[in-house]
């Protein structure tokens, strides 16, 4: 493989040049993409299906740290976090638009790396890049992505449909992405103190991947369809379990009882939380960025999922008057607060 040593300034290409350069190889693969990149707008045909639209903005220094985010991973992640929202509506992502504001510290080659991660994620999830915008930024990199997906009419799942006695179900496990960030921040501080030190990341592949290259749970949407389960409500874990539960309860006008001992936490996540003197449960509740799916199902669907290793029943929906509570490992009921990152002080 040839080593990349070239540095091309963005100004050498100009805006139109950069767009052409990045997108010249991109060909739509979905039948719903009638016209892709290259005009005032893209044209889509969803042939009677409903359209789901979601948008997210990622800002350097707020959502990612260039000290430890490889650009290709960052590109991949920026697509994944957006299409995760489409899955959380029970829809299939089909298209994305990608807008970038880029400061002059980035070379064309750096933006190519970023874009290659985006293209890879789009390929993995069967999504077309149909347009976007590139512009100058005065500080750092800003990524704004809008994702579009399709769903059979009336089959989208909102946050608002949870009913009393419904089961609260979660895919995968939690806290890993947050611990990955803690580990990267620790090694960054070590490196800042002594740039000759090599970062000590051995044995932490799982949590690092959870932070740097998360996946969206396409498989869960397929599984639910195969099992003929239509969740009564659904959301993805971007801000943390407690925050997402609160969204569902607020919008469904219900309460919840969450069981601490049922919250799935990977053993390596658990151990690292202990090493950092952090409560593993708090990392799951408030860490966020795990991009797992949290949903509620009717009690009668219990048998269909009870033996699935990738789904955990972590609680059940109660009357609104009962409030939002967590039954701790000690059997005590405590009020569940949506803390986001503030509770553990890592992110603003």
| Nearer CB in complex with its own copies: 251/328 | 251
The least CB distance from residue 236 to its own copies, in Å, is: 6
User: Closer CB to its own copies, residue 95 or residue 281?
Assistant: 95
Pick from 208, 182, 205: which is nearest to 286 by CA? 182
Q: Which is nearer to its own copies, 69 or 97 (CB)?
A: 97
What are the residues facing 326 on neighbouring strands? Answer: 258, 334
CA distances from 310 to 221, 224, 307, 313 (A): 13, 12, 9, 10
- The angle that helices 218-226 and 71-87 make with each other, rounded to 10 degrees, is 30
Closer to its own copies by CB, 121 or 273: give it. Answer: 121
As measured in angstroms, the least distance from the Cβ of 117 to its own copies is 19
CB 29 within 8 A of CB 126: yes
Minimum CB distance to its own copies, residue 303 (Å)? 28
Strands 255-259 and 311-318 turn out to be: antiparallel
User: Which two three-digit tokens encode residue 165?
Assistant: 């006695």
For the chain, report the end-to-end CA distance as a whole number of angstroms: 41
Query: Cβ closer to its own copies: 98 or 119?
Result: 98
- Classify residue 153 by burial, with Cβ atoms within 10 Å: 0-12, 13-18, 19+: exposed
Q: Which is nearer to its own copies, 102 or 183 (CB)?
A: 102
- Closest to its own copies by CB, 15 vs 200, is 15
The secondary element (H helix, E strand) that includes residue 104 is none
Look at residues 294, 276, 295 and name the one whose alpha carbon lies nearest to residue 344: 276
Q: How far is the CB of 162 from its own copies (least distance, A)?
A: 13
DSSP class of 128: E
Residue (235 or 324) nearer to its own copies, CB: 235
Instruction: Name the residues that contact its own copies, by CB under 8 A.
Output: 34-35, 38-48, 50-63, 85-86, 88-89, 91, 95, 97, 99-101, 130-133, 135-140, 142, 144, 146-149, 151, 153, 156, 158-160, 234-236, 251, 348
* DSSP conformation letters of 259-310: EGGGS---HHHHHHHHHTT--HHHHHHH------EEEEE-GGGHHHHTT-TT
Least distance in angstroms from the C-beta of 323 to its own copies: 19
Q: In angstroms, give the least distance from the CB of 32 to its own copies.
A: 9
Which secondary structure element, helix H or strand E, spans residue 52, and what is its range? strand 50-59
Q: How far apart, in Å, are the Cα atoms of 56 and each of 16, 114, 239, 267?
A: 24, 17, 13, 31
Nearest distance, CB of residue 234 and its own copies, angstroms: 8
**Closest separation between CB of residue 179 and its own copies, Å?**
23
């Amino acid at each position: 493989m040839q080593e990349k040593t070239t540095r091309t300034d963005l100004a050498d290409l100009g805006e139109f040049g950069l767009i052409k350069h990045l997108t010249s190889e991109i060909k739509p693969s979905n039948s719903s993409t009638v016209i892709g990149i290259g005009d005032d707008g893209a044209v889509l045909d969803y042939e009677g299906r409903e359209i789901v639209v979601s948008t997210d903005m990622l800002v350097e220094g707020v959502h990612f740290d260039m000290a430890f985010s490889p650009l290709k991973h960052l590109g991949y992640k920026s697509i994944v976090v957006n299409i995760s929202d489409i899955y959380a509506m029970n829809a299939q992502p089909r298209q994305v638009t990608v807008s970038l504001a880029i400061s002059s510290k980035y070379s064309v080659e750096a933006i190519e790396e970023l874009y290659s991660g985006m293209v890879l994620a789009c390929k993995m999830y069967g999504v077309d890049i149909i347009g976007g915008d590139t512009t100058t930024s005065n500080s750092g990199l800003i990524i704004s992505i809008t994702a579009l997906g399709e769903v059979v009419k009336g089959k989208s799942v909102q946050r608002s449909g949870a009913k009393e006695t419904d089961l609260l179900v979660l895919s995968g496990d939690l806290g890993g992405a947050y611990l990955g960030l803690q580990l990267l921040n620790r090694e960054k501080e070590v490196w800042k103190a002594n740039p000759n030190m090599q970062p000590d990341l051995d044995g932490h592949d799982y949590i690092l991947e959870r932070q740097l290259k998360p996946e969206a749970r396409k498989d869960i949407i397929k599984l639910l369809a195969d099992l003929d389960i239509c969740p009564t409500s659904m959301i993805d874990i971007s801000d943390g379990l407690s925050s997402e539960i609160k969204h569902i309860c607020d919008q469904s006008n219900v309460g919840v009882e969450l069981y601490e001992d049922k919250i799935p936490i990977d053993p390596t996540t658990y151990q690292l939380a202990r090493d950092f003197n952090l409560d593993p449960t708090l990392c799951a509740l408030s860490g966020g960025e795990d991009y797992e799916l949290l949903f509620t199902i009717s009690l009668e669907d219990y048998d269909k999922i009870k033996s699935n290793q990738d789904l955990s029943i972590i609680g059940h929906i109660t009357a609104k008057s009962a409030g939002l509570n967590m039954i701790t490992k000690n059997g005590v009921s405590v009020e569940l607060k949506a803390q986001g990152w503030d509770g553990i002080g890592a992110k603003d």
